Amino acid sequence: MIDWGWIADHVPAILGRAVQHLEFAAIALVVGFAISFGLALLSVRYRPAYPVVAGLAGILFTIPSLALYSSFVPVIGLSLLTVEIPLVLYTLVIYVRNIVAGFDSVPAEVLEAADGMGYTRMQRLRAVELPLAVPLMVAGLRVASVSTIGLVTISGILGSSFGGFGFFIFERPNFATEILVGAVGSIALALLADALFGVLQRRLTPWSRLNVELEMAKTGRSAAQATAAV
Amino acid sequence: MATAESVVFEHVTKRYGVAEARREAAAGRLPAAVDDLSFEVPAGRICVLVGPSGCGKTTSLKMVNRLIEPTSGRILIGGEDVATRDVIALRRSIGYVIQQVGLFPHQTVGENVETVTRLLGWAPERRRARSDELLELVGLDPSRYATRYPSQLSGGERQRVGVARALAADPPVLLMDEPFGAVDPIVRERLQNELLHLQDQLAKTILFVTHDIDEAIKMGDLVAVMQAGGHLAQFAPPAEILANPASDFVARFVGADRGLKRLALTRVNELDLMAPVTASPGEDAAEARRRALADPFPWLLLVDAMRRPLGWVEEADIPTSGNLTEELASAMSPLLDRRTTLKDALARLIEAEVQAGVVTDARGAVIGLVTAEMIFDWSRRTAEEARASEGPTRETAS
């Protein structure tokens, strides 16, 4: 049923698509995080902005991906931006919610103690708030990476220079082997990203790893909340 | 060692406007106003701000390190108005301990204690040495505790680290907001005693907030009783507050058992102790009997050569001839170290066979007797004296 010969003949092409897939996803994840971090800081410092930011990002996420990809084509034609703009927009809701939740998770008494001991605003942000917000931020990165990798696959609909593994799914609708390569490749990348960020999350917070059960339960729950919110 | 400095409140008032009150409420805080607060804490003393919730005691404390800015009035530390100082430098020069401790969970105990010295730019070795010294001071072995994270500590250990962290830069003034409010009663008592012991060595000026009047009486050299609306109801040493409450509010707040609480503040060697009739085994019985009968107290106290008490002999049991022997002692009564409080002495006397406690010195030798009547007399007399000198108390309480 599976044409192993085709796979053997197309190893360079498959690897090339894997690189493209990761490239598309990585760009969106990095740019999306930068934008979201700014929006989240704004939301934390100026609370009334939060419902507006989260609401808009939420609406963007409800737009079906096929529709969003296609709607940019008449405006900016086919370029890297045609893929990246929708991908970045989709990450916003996941990131912003998690980064804000990260800052909110810093206990009030820790902030009070920091202020009382004479931290300046910037020192407090850098030395206290950021490190304590990291677990939830990485949890957001983890969810966003899985979601983005999935959406890159769909960008294959835009044509042969897009899609990463999605290219194989859309190229020949009747050739099962090629479709399977695209699907399995996409799934493998998503699982890999999820595992990678899971490890990173624990590496970055040695202080919470000591409290393994408690912290695992917490991060598990917040990741689930983020997914549910999505 | 930085010397302690006086803390003076001069007509300090804090009012919350509608917008500010709403902002505070949104941040989960309940702002309490403070109304024309004036008092002076001399350098090196502990002043406890005590009162029911909403009386403005925490607000008052936070105005000292300017976490809250007063609406009017001045707060002076060592004669200098805190409002004129750079707020960050001011806070780094004041120790701050809060109920939930607020240790940084992502830093080790050692890093937590180094917080202020790090902010002040001390060299790492000097910070480290200071942190070890402080951990030892609060009873935590640095070699075992410095590398642990706060999540690995018990509540009492965390609070000790909180105190060590507040002392890092040797601040002349320490602010403590219900520091022992979140630990269980046994640990709380131990931490209270440790802080008093520490204070004997450090002699910092400490402002201490609590809602527990017993803690206030125990910890304070001075107690500021506050009531709803941020009014100062009374400012005086604990004994005076108990003996002569300035208002019905203070009387109710210190409790109907304030007479008993007052007994806990005085030690038996502060009373004019009664001299017992004493004799040692081997002495002439007839002579001892004559002396015992001449004294209104119906018991003879048998003591050894070091004047340590052996027991009581009832007058009627003293032989008319021969020598006294140790076997004659038929009853004992409470032996009270001279530092026993009147409250504890009374508690022991209530159950005793002979209603007189034998007060002994550090070597266990008899220095006198104390009876329940003497304690009652002392209580009556001192309460009357306090009422007689009521004028000045009312003034300070205004």
Candidate from A117, A207, A211 with C-beta closest to B91:
A117
| CA pair distance A75, A82, nearest whole angstrom | 9
Please report the sign of the dihedral spanned by the C-alpha atoms of residue B310, residue B311, residue B315, residue B321: negative
Strand partners, A95: none
Q: Note whether residue B263 is domain-resident.
A: no
Final residue in a domain of this structure, among B231, B257, B283? B257
Residue A72 is predicted with a pLDDT of 87
Strand partners, B232: B226
Residue B30 is predicted with a pLDDT of 72
Q: Minimal CA–CA distance to B107: which of A72, A114, A85, A12?
A: A114
Residue B394 is predicted with a pLDDT of 43
Tokens of A134: 């990291």
- A–B CB contacts, 8 A cutoff, strictly below: 71
DSSP code per residue over B231-288: EEEEEE-HHHHHHS-SSHHHHHHH-TTHHHHHHTTSBGGGS-PBPPPEE-TTSBHHHH
Closest residue, chain A, to B103 (C-alpha): A110
B164, B306: one domain: no
Tokens of A196: 């990678």
Average pLDDT over residues B14-27: 81
Average pLDDT over residues B217-236: 94
Chain A positions touching B86 (Cβ under 8 A) are none
Q: Note whether residue B391 is domain-resident.
A: no
Closest residue, chain A, to B66 (C-alpha): A116
Candidate from B96, B102, B149 with C-beta closest to A110:
B102
Final residue in a domain of this structure, among B232, B257, B282? B257
Q: Under a CB-based contact definition with an 8 Å cutoff, are residues A138 and A204 in contact? A: yes
Residue B395 is predicted with a pLDDT of 42
Q: Note whether residue B262 is domain-resident.
A: no
Give the total number of structural domains in chain B: 2
Residue A176 is predicted with a pLDDT of 87
Final residue in a domain of this structure, among B257, B282, B313? B257
The CATH number given to whatever domain includes residue B206 is 3.40.50.300
Q: Do A107 and B165 touch (CB under 8 A)?
A: no
Domains and CATH numbers, chain A: 4-229 (1.10.3720.10)
The dihedrals phi and psi of B230, each to the nearest 5 degrees, come to: 75, 30
What confidence tier does B118 reach under pLDDT thresholds 50, 70, 90?
Answer: very high
Residue B2 is predicted with a pLDDT of 61
B373, B241: one domain: no
Closest residue, chain B, to A115 (C-alpha): B67
- Is residue A226 over pLDDT 50? no
Distance (Å) from the C-alpha of residue B226 to the closest C-alpha of chain A? Answer: 23
- Is residue A215 over pLDDT 70? no
Work out the percent of chain B whose per-residue pLDDT is above 90: 58
B235, B356: one domain: no
Q: Note whether residue B284 is domain-resident.
A: yes
Q: Note whether residue B281 is domain-resident.
A: yes
B158, B59: one domain: yes
Residue B205's domain comprises 7-257
| CA pair distance B224, B231, nearest whole angstrom | 10
B112, B220: one domain: yes
What confidence tier does B22 reach under pLDDT thresholds 50, 70, 90?
Answer: confident
- Is residue B317 over pLDDT 80? yes
Candidate from B28, B105, B116 with C-beta closest to A117:
B116
| CA pair distance B235, B251, nearest whole angstrom | 13
Tokens of B336: 């009270």
Chain A positions touching B106 (Cβ under 8 A) are 131-132, 205, 207-208
B182, B304: one domain: no
Longest Cα–Cα distance of chain A, Å, equals 70
B89, B230: one domain: yes
Residue B320 is predicted with a pLDDT of 87
B155, B201: one domain: yes
Q: Do A207 and B88 touch (CB under 8 A)?
A: no
Q: Note whether residue B195 is domain-resident.
A: yes
B72, B151: one domain: yes
B201, B330: one domain: no
B356, B313: one domain: yes
B86, B216: one domain: yes
- Is residue B229 over pLDDT 80? yes
- Is residue A187 over pLDDT 60? yes
Work out the percent of chain B whose per-residue pLDDT is above 70: 96
Chain A positions touching B99 (Cβ under 8 A) are 109
To the nearest 10 degrees (0 to 180), the angle between helices A11-45 and A80-104 is 40
Residue B359 is predicted with a pLDDT of 92
- Is residue A35 over pLDDT 70? yes
Tokens of A208: 């919470």
Q: Do A116 and B65 touch (CB under 8 A)?
A: yes
Mean pLDDT of chain A: 87
Mean pLDDT of chain B: 89
Q: Note whether residue B2 is domain-resident.
A: no
Which amino acid appears at position B211 of this protein? H
Q: Note whether residue B36 is domain-resident.
A: yes
- Is residue A216 over pLDDT 50? no
The CATH number given to whatever domain includes residue B286 is 3.10.580.10
